[in-house]
């Protein structure tokens, strides 16, 4: 009967959406750095740690308010106790272990062995409880039993809990963790040196009445102080033999110090790029709105510069290291990730629906853009995707991926080329426009409602007075570009004017449009 009740309850918990949702919530609250509420819990815990340590320090020579003492001994300890129990709860699933055992035994047509299930539960829970962080959490609760005054010193263990909440400490621990074997070797070497030097100095100095080293403990203390190159001077050898041992220990101490320094330097050097990447991803996750550019070739580079002029945040993603370095040199946040892999977007730790204005697939390779678009659509169905099309035969493939906007440069190039066939001088002009050092630029100007009120048609713009050529008008409403439009074409808010001219004249023309509006 009891076994049946335990199995039913385990199945209930394992299938209960409400229970699993609550457990998942507390797991994310305690363990998931991506969860938006976790930082508040971390801040609360850090604050409680510092309060309890301050109370402990003040209590040494001053009277502490009874309410504050009660708060430190009971309230804070109780909060840590609740945290410890929650971590023990979410660390593993008791119901899943029982259900798994029941299904295994049922499959083999034998009676369910709950004893094995409970032993597995005990093993899993003990493995967590014996982990370093769980032991620190437990020791931090001991001051709750404040009647045992000695246990109050365990308040200091609450300081070690900072490693759990402070990300910088976690990063430091992960960096040093890469050199476990080297640090173990260093520890063994230092321990051997301390042991040998302690025995030697005790033998050399122990029988000398004038020597301050009278016990083995004092010999060990002297060895540690000497090998660390601290040298307090409170205990010093008086015999020639003892001083000779001191010289050997100092030499060994310099070697230990040099070895330790080299380990720290090499560990941080090896992990520096990874640390920078983690920091960069953290900064990206904090952005409210940004453009994500996949690929950083010539067209992407030019578009990124244009978007940057409007003070837009831009993130570049490319699998090629050279292009990433170029993007960084241009002042953009660039990540060496493959835009065609789901893992790349998972690493970013962003919410595409709320943070990404648009994703621009601008590789000058249709296959790469198709893969990138398919990957993005598998993650988010709504985010706006603009893709570059290099060959018109691949248009249907790109449309199949679900992109919102396809840009095909050859359409505009074809229009220009058609107009300039048989005109070599004109082609030289086009070549000049492509030159980065040329003063002549192609630019786009947005049309607002107030501009439409003062310049209702293309003919009203007066661009010729500024020696600015109007190449065409992009109608956002029709999603169509009108090359060399007629003067009677009506302008609408949201349109874009594509103009060519000297940069200074384009700026003057744009200023004129807005000045005319302001004076209207």
Residue whose token pair is 């699993």 = 20
Domain end among 275, 298, 331: 275
Q: What average pLDDT does this structure show over 166-195?
A: 78
- Clarify whether residues 159 and 192 are in a common domain: no
Confidence of residue 115 (pLDDT cuts 50, 70, 90): confident
Residue 421 included in any domain: no
Write out the two tokens for 91: 């660390």
DSSP of 241-304: HHHHHHHHHHHHHHHHHHHHHHHHHHHHHHHHHHHHHHHHHHHHHT-SSEEEEE--SHHHHHHH
Residue 193 has pLDDT above 60, yes or no: yes
Write out the two tokens for 233: 């001077």
- Clarify whether residues 319 and 394 are in a common domain: yes
Residue 132 included in any domain: yes
Residues of the chain with pLDDT > 90: what percent?
A: 6
- Clarify whether residues 200 and 326 are in a common domain: no
Write out the two tokens for 8: 């039913």
- Clarify whether residues 134 and 209 are in a common domain: no
pLDDT of amino acid 282:
76
pLDDT of amino acid 287:
82
How many structural domains does the chain have? 4
The backbone torsions φ and ψ at residue 288, rounded to the nearest 5 degrees and listed phi first, read -80, -45
Q: What is the mean pLDDT of the chain?
A: 81
- Clarify whether residues 354 and 494 are in a common domain: no
pLDDT of amino acid 157:
63
Confidence of residue 439 (pLDDT cuts 50, 70, 90): low
CB atoms within 10 A of CB 240: 9
pLDDT of amino acid 249:
87
Question: Among 220, 223, 221, 216, which Cα is nearest to 248's?
Answer: 223
Residue 21 included in any domain: yes
Q: For residue 443, what is the domain's CATH number?
A: 3.30.70.1450
Residue 289 has pLDDT above 80, yes or no: yes
Residue 520 has pLDDT above 50, yes or no: no
Provide the 8-state DSSP code for 478: T
pLDDT of amino acid 64:
80
Confidence of residue 86 (pLDDT cuts 50, 70, 90): very high
- Clarify whether residues 222 and 247 are in a common domain: yes
pLDDT of amino acid 132:
79
Q: For residue 309, what is the domain's CATH number?
A: 3.40.50.720
- Clarify whether residues 392 and 262 are in a common domain: no
Q: Are 241 and 204 a contacting pair, CB within 8 Å?
A: yes
Q: For residue 187, what is the domain's CATH number?
A: 1.10.287.70
- Clarify whether residues 158 and 192 are in a common domain: no
Write out the two tokens for 489: 């074409």
Q: What average pLDDT does this structure show over 283-290?
A: 82
The backbone torsions φ and ψ at residue 74, rounded to the nearest 5 degrees and listed phi first, read -110, -55
The model's pLDDT over 88-109, given as tens digits with 9 standing for 90+, comes to: 998 888 888 888 888 888 877 7
Residue 237 has pLDDT above 60, yes or no: yes
The backbone torsions φ and ψ at residue 341, rounded to the nearest 5 degrees and listed phi first, read -115, 140
- Cα dihedral sign for 180, 183, 185, 187? negative
C-alpha distances out from residue 280 to 222, 291, 429, Å: 47, 16, 42
Residue 169 has pLDDT above 80, yes or no: no
Residue 364 included in any domain: yes
Contacts of 215 (CB under 8 A, 6+ apart): none
Write out the two tokens for 109: 């047509």
Confidence of residue 168 (pLDDT cuts 50, 70, 90): low
- Clarify whether residues 68 and 19 are in a common domain: yes
Residue 479 has pLDDT above 80, yes or no: no
The answer to which of 240-249, 321-330, 509-518 has the lowest mean pLDDT is 509-518
Residue 402 included in any domain: yes
CB atoms within 10 A of CB 388: 25
- Clarify whether residues 403 and 456 are in a common domain: no
Q: What average pLDDT does this structure show over 417-421?
A: 47
Residue 77 included in any domain: yes
**132 burial class (0-12, 13-18, 19+ CB within 10 angstroms)?**
exposed
Write out the two tokens for 209: 């009445």
Residue 426 has pLDDT above 60, yes or no: no
pLDDT of amino acid 285:
77
Domain end among 130, 165, 200: 165
Write out the two tokens for 326: 């170029």
Number of residues in the chain? 520
- Cα dihedral sign for 273, 275, 280, 284? positive
Write out the two tokens for 427: 């082609």
Alpha-helical (H) ranges within 91-179 are 94-107, 114-129, 132-141, 157-160, 162-165, 167-177
pLDDT of amino acid 292:
92
- Clarify whether residues 36 and 157 are in a common domain: yes
Contacts of 394 (CB under 8 A, 6+ apart): 366, 367, 370
Confidence of residue 165 (pLDDT cuts 50, 70, 90): low
Residue 171 included in any domain: no
The backbone torsions φ and ψ at residue 479, rounded to the nearest 5 degrees and listed phi first, read 55, 50
Residues of the chain with pLDDT > 70: what percent?
A: 85
The model's pLDDT over 134-163, given as tens digits with 9 standing for 90+, comes to: 887 887 777 655 444 445 556 666 666 666
Provide the 8-state DSSP code for 35: S
If residue 361 lies in a helix (H) or strand (E), which one and from where to where? strand 356-361
If residue 197 lies in a helix (H) or strand (E), which one and from where to where? helix 180-205
In the sheet that 480-483 helps form, which strands lie side by side, from edge to edge?
Answer: 440-446, 496-502, 469-475, 480-483
- Clarify whether residues 13 and 156 are in a common domain: yes
Write out the two tokens for 228: 């660390």
pLDDT of amino acid 172:
66
The backbone torsions φ and ψ at residue 442, rounded to the nearest 5 degrees and listed phi first, read -105, 130
The answer to which of 24-33, 226-235, 285-294, 356-365 has the lowest mean pLDDT is 226-235
The model's pLDDT over 445-474, given as tens digits with 9 standing for 90+, comes to: 888 887 888 889 988 888 888 888 888 898
Q: What average pLDDT does this structure show over 362-370?
A: 88
Residue whose token pair is 């209590």 = 59
If residue 301 lies in a helix (H) or strand (E), which one and from where to where? helix 298-309
Range(s) of the domain holding residue 468: 439-518
Single pTM value for the model: 0.52
Contacts of 357 (CB under 8 A, 6+ apart): 289, 290, 291, 312, 384
Domain end among 407, 427, 458: 407
Q: Which residue has the higher pLDDT, 514 or 97?
A: 97
pLDDT of amino acid 164:
66
Confidence of residue 294 (pLDDT cuts 50, 70, 90): very high
Q: What average pLDDT does this structure show over 330-356?
A: 85
CA distance 339 to 39: 30
Residue 430 included in any domain: no
Question: Among 128, 144, 146, which Cα is nearest to 82's?
Answer: 144
């Amino acid at each position: 009967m009891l076994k049946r009740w335990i199995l039913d309850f385990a199945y209930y918990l394992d299938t209960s959406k409400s229970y699993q949702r609550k457990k998942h919530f507390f797991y994310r609250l305690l363990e998931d750095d991506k969860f938006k509420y976790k930082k508040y819990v971390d801040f609360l815990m850090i604050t409680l740690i510092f309060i309890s340590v301050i109370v402990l320090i003040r209590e040494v020579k001053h009277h502490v308010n009874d309410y504050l003492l009660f708060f430190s001994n009971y309230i804070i300890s109780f909060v840590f106790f609740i945290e410890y129990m929650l971590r023990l709860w979410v660390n593993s699933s008791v119901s899943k272990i029982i259900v798994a055992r029941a299904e295994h035994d049922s499959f083999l047509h034998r009676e369910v062995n709950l004893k094995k299930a409970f032993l597995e539960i005990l093993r899993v829970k003990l493995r967590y409880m014996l982990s370093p962080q769980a032991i620190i959490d437990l020791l931090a609760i001991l001051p709750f039993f404040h009647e045992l005054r000695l246990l109050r010193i365990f308040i200091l263990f609450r300081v070690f809990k900072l490693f759990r909440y402070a990300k910088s400490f976690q990063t430091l621990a992960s960096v040093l963790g890469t050199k476990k074997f080297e640090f173990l070797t260093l520890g063994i070497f230092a321990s051997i040196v301390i042991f040998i030097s302690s025995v030697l100095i005790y033998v050399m100095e122990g029988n000398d009445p004038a020597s301050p080293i009278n016990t083995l403990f004092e010999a060990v203390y002297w060895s540690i102080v000497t090998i660390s190159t601290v040298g307090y001077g409170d205990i010093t050898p008086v015999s020639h033999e003892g001083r000779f041992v001191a010289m050997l220990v100092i030499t060994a101490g310099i070697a230990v110090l040099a070895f330790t320094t080299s380990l720290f330097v090499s560990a941080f050097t090896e992990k520096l790029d990874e640390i920078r990447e983690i920091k960069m991803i953290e900064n990206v996750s904090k952005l409210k709105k940004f453009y994500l550019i996949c690929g950083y070739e010539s067209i992407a580079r030019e578009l990124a510069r244009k978007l940057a002029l409007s003070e837009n945040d831009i993130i570049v993603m490319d699998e090629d290291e050279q292009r990433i370095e170029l993007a960084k040199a241009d002042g953009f946040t660039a990540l060496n990730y493959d835009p065609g892999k789901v893992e790349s977007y998972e690493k970013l730790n962003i919410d595409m629906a709320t943070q990404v204005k648009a994703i621009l697939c601008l590789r000058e390779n249709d296959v790469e853009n198709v893969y990138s678009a398919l990957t993005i659509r598998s993650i988010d169905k709504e985010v706006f995707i603009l893709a570059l099309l290099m060959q018109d035969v691949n248009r249907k493939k790109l449309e199949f991926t679900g992109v919102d906007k396809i840009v095909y440069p050859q359409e505009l190039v074809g229009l220009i080329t058609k107009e300039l066939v048989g005109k070599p001088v004109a082609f030289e002009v086009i070549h000049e426009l492509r030159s980065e050092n040329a003063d002549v630029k192609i630019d786009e100007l947005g049309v607002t409602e107030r501009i439409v009120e003062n310049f209702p048609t293309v003919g009203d713009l007066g661009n010729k007075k500024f020696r600015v050529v109007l190449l065409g008008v992009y109608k956002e409403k029709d999603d169509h570009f009108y090359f060399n439009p007629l003067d009677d074409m009506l302008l609408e808010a949201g349109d874009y004017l594509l103009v060519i001219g000297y940069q200074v004249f384009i700026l003057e023309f744009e200023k004129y449009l807005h000045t005319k509006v302001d004076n209207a």
